[in-house]
Every structure is written in structure tokens, then in C-alpha cells.
Amino acid sequence: MGETVIRVETALLADGWSGPVTVRIAEGRIAAIAADGPADQQADILVPSLGNLHSHAFQRAMAGLAEYRTGTEDSFWTWRSLMYRFLERITPEQVEAIAAQLYVEMLEAGYAAVGEFHYLHHQADGTAYDMPAEMGRRIAAAADATGIGLTLLPVLYCQGGTDGRPLEGGQRRFGTMPDSFAALLEDSARALTREDAVLGVAPHSLRAVPREALSDVGAYLPDTPIHMHIAEQVAEVTEIEAAYGARPVNWALTNLPIDRRWCLIHATQMTPRETEGLAATGAVAGLCPITEANLGDGIFDGARYLSAGGWFGVGSDSNIRIGLAEELRQLEHSQRLRDRARCVLADGAKSVGRTVFENAARGAAQALGRGSGVIAEGALADLVALDGSALPLTGRSGDRILDGWIFAGDDRVVRDVWSAGRHVVQAGRHPAREVVEARFRTALTALMDGL
């Protein structure tokens, strides 16, 4: 990979707004930041890109299919039944096509990397493919084709609930046990060919992984990310309390070595003490505000968590909508609706937009094991150029740029994106969009037939 020098009118650097500056990229990293000078490319506004820290790629094909009442009261659990029907038919080729479409959409929204919480491992009857990581290889192929940075998180999924019941129906495609999980990780590692790709591990949840297996999960891949769903739904909290004698987050903080390697996904059902305890560990809270709103999960206690020094990142989870600005806007607006207040997550002199953007950028970089999230020498060149002539940004400077994007605009203000120095979005579009979209349409048409 050669060198690129970008001249920027305004940039959000590690120590604040600056400009004009030049940013030199070499070997996928930011090699130097200097005063105004000659450059290969021009940008109006340059900010660090966010990583999307939680995705289930195949669910993009399900978006909008679960918006009918199936009984007197719909919930996350009734939504899950549609997912299982979907799993009865989806093929590896379709997964690759769906993931590629999803990753193009993420890149065009301003995400430079994704954490793929990958639990779709096996054939429809639960038997393994000839290559244990056949589905993971499809995810990696889609990431390679689109240029998005990938943290692949193969999921350990052992049981159907805390009572140890076996996996049934669509869940059979998820099934992994400790003795087979190591082979899955080994084959997954062979699928990752890019230097900036990361392999982590993901015990699915306290419901799906028995406590004896949870205690050993960190030993599979030392010093790499560990992600786990936790405390998403009230029913989940009730089940864990009955089985473990403690609420999920409280049990995890007491019994697991939670530290900066960990990312706890959702955590929408926490007490104040749990919220402060999670913040103190240095772990990242993986928030998915659009999905959490769509599924009726609940509202994360963001103000208390930030006040306690906690880090968070955002992900698109079920992928019903891909919108970087919308995720951050939904996060802040949910706090306002709950507290009947404004600017709930603002930090001191920084605006709300800058507070949530910087926290999410750095939190996702930590959770994905990716040295990015900031424009600084030595960091991975995960960057977003915004269109300064876009109406929501017109006449704005400093933090108001981010406020305009997040609260008054949308991701159409994204003009260029670099992922580890790869120039993957130019003038607002991914160069492979048409080809990728055609394959996605073919996959989607087949999946919708008779569903």
C-alpha cells in the first residue's frame, strides 16, 4: 500500500479541532500530521471513523419482516421465531451476498470496521460443514471484497437456556461446545488474510453458555477481544436470577475476569450499582440503540455510566437500519425521553455530538482490538471525510459540525471513507455498490419466496 497525503480544512485531532492540516497515510496507518502543505487529495472535514462493534450480518435480509402482531403482545422472543424460520433456508452463498451488501452500506454510512458476532456456523440440520468455519469464511470474503475492517467473533453457543436444554430448530445451526470451538477458531483464523483483521471470541450469553465453559473462554485466544450479550431483556434477567442467584451483570462482574478485553452487549437492564461497576472494569458497553428500540429492549443508563468513566461503542446488531448518525442520535434521544431533559450526555464544555462521537469511536476501537478511533500518528487510518457544503454543516465549525451531522442531518454528509488506509468510499459511494447490490437482490428474492 502506497502513501497518501490528504489536505484537510478542518480535522478533529486527538487534542481537538485543528486546520488546515495535512494527514499522511502509509502502510494503512497515520504516518504524520503536519501544517498546511501539498497533498494528493482534499477534504473539507476529517474525523475518525467509528467501528460498528456488533453485527449479525445475515439479519440484514430480515429487516422489516417482523412488524406484524403475532399475538396479544409481541416482544424480542416473538421476533426471534422469525429469525429461526429464516435460518431453515439460508445458504453460505446467500450469507456472503447479504454480508457484502451490509458492509457496503456500513462503509457509506461512515463505519470503517465491523465486529461480526458470528453464530451461524452449521448446516440447517445442525451438522458441520466440511470446513468448520465455512460461514465465517463467507463473512471474511465479504469483508475482503468491500474493504471493511473485520473483527470476526465466532460464537460459543452450547445450550438452549440455563436449564441446559438442547438446541432445537434454528438454534441447531449455532451449536458449539468447548471441544469443537477450538477447531472452529483455528479454521476461522485461516480465513483472515488482511493484516488489520482481528479474531476474537464470543460466548453468546449466560443463557447459552454454562458457567464452567464461561470460566475458560479467555484462554482460547489470549489478549484478543471477548464479546458477550448481557441483560438485554427483563425475561433474561429473571431467568439468570433464578438459575444463578444474581442478576446477569452482577454475576458477571463477580465471577468473570471482566476487563478491557471485554465488550458487554446491550446491558440495558442494569441497576445503578451494576452500571457503575461495569464502568469501573474498563470494559466497553456495546450499545445498539436502533435495534434496542425496535425490539423493545429498554434504555441504557448512559448518563450514570459516562459519569462513572465508562466507555461505550455502538453497533447495528439486527441491522434493521444502517445509520451511524442515527445510532448516536437514538442513544441521546432515548436518554432525553426517559429523563425529560436535554443534552443529557454532554461532557463539560464539549457538545453532545462530540461527546457521544468521541466516546463511541474510542470505545469501538478498544472493543474491536483495532488501533483506531482517533486521528493521531501511529493510529490505523480509519477516517471519514464529511462534505462541508452539505446543508446540515453549512456555516458550522468545531463541535457544531458533529451536532449538525448527528442531530440535523444524516449519513449523506459522508463523502469519503478510509479503512486502514483503503479508500473504500469516494464521493459518497462504494465503487462495488452496483455489483454487490445485484447479488443481494438475487439472494433476497430467493429467501422471500414462500417465507
Read off the pLDDT of residues 107-140 as tens digits, 9 standing for 90 and up.
Answer: 999 999 999 999 999 998 999 999 999 999 999 9
Catalytic (active-site) positions: 266, 317
pLDDT, position 145: 98
Q: How confident is the model at residue 216 (pLDDT cuts 50, 70, 90)?
A: confident
pLDDT tens digit sequence for 306-338? 999 999 999 999 999 999 999 999 999 999 999
Q: How confident is the model at residue 242 (pLDDT cuts 50, 70, 90)?
A: very high
Q: How confident is the model at residue 78 (pLDDT cuts 50, 70, 90)?
A: low
Mean pLDDT of the chain: 94
The candidate with the shortest Cα–Cα distance to 219, out of 192, 201, 231, is 201
Q: How confident is the model at residue 252 (pLDDT cuts 50, 70, 90)?
A: very high
pLDDT tens digit sequence for 9-33? 999 999 999 989 999 999 999 999 9
Q: How confident is the model at residue 74 (pLDDT cuts 50, 70, 90)?
A: low
Long-range contacts of 192-196 (CB under 8 A, 24+ apart): 192/140, 192/150, 192/152, 193/140, 193/144, 194/143, 194/144, 194/150, 194/420, 195/28, 195/420, 196/28, 196/149, 196/370, 196/380, 196/419, 196/420
pLDDT tens digit sequence for 178-203? 989 999 999 999 999 999 999 999 99
pLDDT tens digit sequence for 337-365? 999 999 999 998 899 999 999 999 999 99
The DSSP string of 91-124 is -HHHHHHHHHHHHHHHHHHTEEEEEEEE---S-T
Taking a C-beta distance cutoff of 8 angstroms, is the pair 6, 426 a contact?
no
Please give the model's pTM, rounded to 2 decimal places.
Answer: 0.96
Between 418 and 67, whose confidence is greater? Answer: 418
Q: Of 78-87, 218-227, 278-287, 418-427, which gets the smallest average pLDDT?
A: 78-87
